[in-house]
Structure 1
Amino acid sequence: MSKNAVPESLNEEYYQISSDILESFSKYRPPLDIFRFKEDVARIETYYRAGGRLSKEQVEELAELTREGLIFVSRRDHPVYVKHISYQLDLVLVDKNLKEREIADIFIQALTMRLENFMEQPVRALLERLREDVMVLCEYVWNDVHRIRALTRRLHTEHTLAHHSVNCGVMGTALFIRLYADDFNRGAMQRKLFENAVMGLFLHDLGMSKIPVFLRDKTQALSRDEQSKLLSHPGTGYEMLGKLDLKDRPVEQCVMEHHERLDGSGYPQKLKGKDISPLGRLCAVVDSYCAMVTNRPYAPAKEPAQAANELAEDAKHYDSRIARLLQSLIVTGK
């Protein structure tokens, strides 16, 4: 019949899936329960149970019913659905039935998975998969910059390298949009600059992938050699960018400058003031903030407002304008 025959109230309990989503499932063994809307009685009934197998006739019928807008999956299966789409992230751009908070869940899970795989084995093939997913995020946010808000509410609370990278990528993107709000509003922001900046924010700690986990998470005082290894990670990351053929300047700035400080007390180059790029200054604020608000082996998490306030008050080390923008973002959530 028609999609208009389906009650709007169903969307509170079910996803109405599209043909694109159906085609992404295993043809004969979809990973979750599937429901059909029966127009003659105006109610949902089970069409397929996960673990079963569809016949050839059912596969053809299911495709037709989906085109008619009569096939749904339960929101109770949200974790299964999120996991499925996280492996094919571009599906979020075609699924019009997902809510913004559900899409945010999918992005966080997908990007975390990609970064875990890449940081464990930083090779070009895994970098390309990560880049594809970051570009999907850029496309999603580019079409409506306010969409980043839902992601900022879903930051990881426990510190790992991948978790920190996701948190910094998300918060950094939100802060970048705020910093250049006038350019976004006037349509003057260059798409390529935006994409490279977001990529750099997710990859800023690339060099840490070469630091042993026991050293990254050590709770005792570091020896001089251990401290030297940790301090080398921006330079290591920069060398890795060359080997990965990732030479975009915004990415390099995030990797090399996120530990530089305005008074020259940072590392590795001890840059001062305006010698640090705007993106480097932004990444420094975001990197410190995201470290402060997660539980680490050597330090408990601080409240977001407290962490943002401390950074805003530290004009000696951090760009005051950027830190105040972060402070405002944390307070308003916008």
Structure 2
Amino acid sequence: MHAKGRMDVPDGLNEEYYQISPDILRSFNKFRPPLNIFMFNEKVGRVAPYYQVGGRLTKEQIETLAQMVKEGIIFVSRTDHPVYVKHIAYQLDLVLIDRNLKESEIADIFVEALTMRIGEFYDQPVAAVMEKLWSDLMVLTEYLWNDPFRIKALARRLHTEHTLARHSVNSGILALAMFIRMKSDSFSKNEITRNHFNRLTAGFFLHDLGMTKIPAFIREKPKPLTTDERAKIDKHPLLGYEMLSKLDLKYKEIEACVIEHHERVTGKGYPQKKSGRDISQLGRIIGAVDSYCAMITKRPYAEAVSPVEAATAISRDQGYDPEVTKNIQAWVLTLKK
């Protein structure tokens, strides 16, 4: 046993199990934890069951469990990873505490949590629900701040089936990945401020905010839209922009993503018919990414295309910033490795 009371456990144990910390234990239901729990038996050098889902811990077992967690001998199985993901998704800041999670596992948790939170917010786009989403987005920026390239693991986990929430998560993650690729020198020189990074992250994820004001039957219509329905869809950047004041989100980075994601460098976009460098870099990034992410998911009105096909299509379209599309193409090539 270590001097501070923590017991030595085999180095390879964490390949099969998560070691539970006191913070993680406190996040569980006290009497009925959501996962099977195992304890490390030092005498035989292996783990043994302590609690099985469906059972109920006694007060004595709860006290014993808390002590064993402090000693570092309580684990949950990595085979229960999907359950663990769903559990931590509701308390996302735990990913910053749990030192036993692998980067790929943390990426799973972020995608699950952010999809859930954005779905809740889009169902009820009011300030109180936005606060919860903002809190989780700030956990993401905290996670990325010291190592922005952690975004790569998230970008490998984009959704393949379309919903408004899934599309927003896909676009937010990939736009962040492209921004980080394009600004890698700025990150290394500490030229990106924390507030700027926080706000542009929120802007990327919330770019389609105005679509919450469009009836679902129009958004998800499997047949071609009527002229009137198309006109309603085309208003969503302005509708989203108008919502920002009520949500206390009037930051230039968020405004740019919401109002500019359908502008095109050729001047043939909407709603303001901006062109070239009159469109902010954030607007040009999220504009290309928004289209790419729409193409790679199965939608009610269109089948998904492959990442290569989608990247090729936007690179051939002169409406998108070629610097952005070049980076999307380069990123797609990494998916094959």
Please indicate the TM-score interval, normalised by the length of the shorter structure: over 0.9
CA offsets 1:51-83 (integer angstroms, 9 cap, x no match)? 212122211111111111100001121111111
Aligned to 1:209: 212
Aligned residue number for residue 25 of structure 1: 28
Once residues 58 and 265 of structure 2 are traced to their aligned partners in structure 1, the CA distance between those partners, rounded to angstroms, is 66
Amino acid at match of 1:172: A
SS in 2 for 1:36: strand
> d(CA) in 2 for partners of 1:221 and 1:299?
11
Q: TM-score, normalised by structure 2?
A: 0.96
Counterpart selection for 2:326 from 319, 324, 327 = 324
Structure 1 CA distance for aligned equivalents of residues 242 and 224 of structure 2: 28
Q: Is 1:34 aligned to residue 37 of structure 2?
A: yes
Alignment of 1:286 onto 2:281: no
Residue 103 of structure 1 is matched in structure 2 by 106
Secondary structure in 1 matching 2:39: strand
What is the distance in 2 between the residues matched to 1:181 and 1:102? 24
Unaligned runs of 5+ in 1: none
2:263 alignment counterpart: 260
| Alpha-carbon distance in 2 for matches of 1:215, 1:21 | 43
Q: Structure 1 CA distance, aligned partners of 2:279 and 2:259? A: 10
SS at match of 2:48: strand
The CA distance in 1 between the partners of 2:242 and 2:191, in whole Å, is 32
Distance in 2 (CA, whole Å) between partners of 1:221 and 1:21 is 49
Q: C-alpha distance in 2, partners of 1:79/1:224?
A: 44
Per the alignment, residue 13 of structure 1 pairs with: 16
What is aligned with 2:200?
197
Deviation above 4 Å: which 4+ runs of structure 1?
Answer: none
| Secondary structure of 1:177's aligned partner | helix
Partners of 2:7 and 2:71 within 8 A in 1:
no
Per-residue displacement from partner, 1:163-222 (whole Å, max 9, x unpaired)?
000000100110110111110111221111111111000000000011111101213222
The answer to whether 1:175 aligns with 2:178 is: yes
Offset at residue 280 of structure 1 (A) = 0.4
1:277 to 280, 295, 301: 280
Match of 1:154 among 157, 177, 201: 157
Q: Paired residue for 2:53, among 50, 61, 64? A: 50
Amino acid at match of 1:126: V
Amino acid at match of 1:331: L
Q: CA deviation at 1:4?
A: 6.0
Task: Please tell me the root mean square deviation across aligned C-alpha atoms, in Å.
Answer: 1.2
Inter-partner Cα distance in structure 2 for 1:195 and 1:135: 7
Counterpart residue type for residue 305 of structure 1: V
SS of structure 1 residue aligned to 2:87:
helix
Displacement of 1:223: 1.7
What amino acid is aligned across from residue 313 of structure 1 in structure 2?
A: R
Give the superposition deviation at 1:313. Answer: 2.4
TM (norm. structure 1) is 0.97
For 1:181 and 1:309, the matched residues in 2 are separated by 24
Number of corresponding residues = 333
* Matched ranges for 1:286-325 at <5 A: 286-314=289-317, 316-325=318-327
Asked if 1:240 corresponds to 2:243, the answer is yes
Unaligned runs of 5+ in 2: none
Contact between 2:149 and 2:180, CA under 8 Å: does it hold in 1?
no
Percentage identity across aligned positions? Answer: 59
Task: List per-residue Cα deviations over 1:259-311 (Å, max 9, x = no partner).
Answer: 00011110000111111111100110110110011111111111101211221
* AA at the equivalent of 1:141: L
Q: Secondary structure, in 3 states, of the residue corresponding to 2:241?
A: helix
- 1:321 CA displacement: 0.7
Amino acid in the other structure paired with 2:207:
H
Determine the C-alpha separation between the residues in 2 that align with 1:146 and 1:244.
30
Aligned mates of 1:222, 1:84 — CA distance in 2: 40
Deviations 1:19-49 (A, max 9, x none): 1101111112111111000111111111111
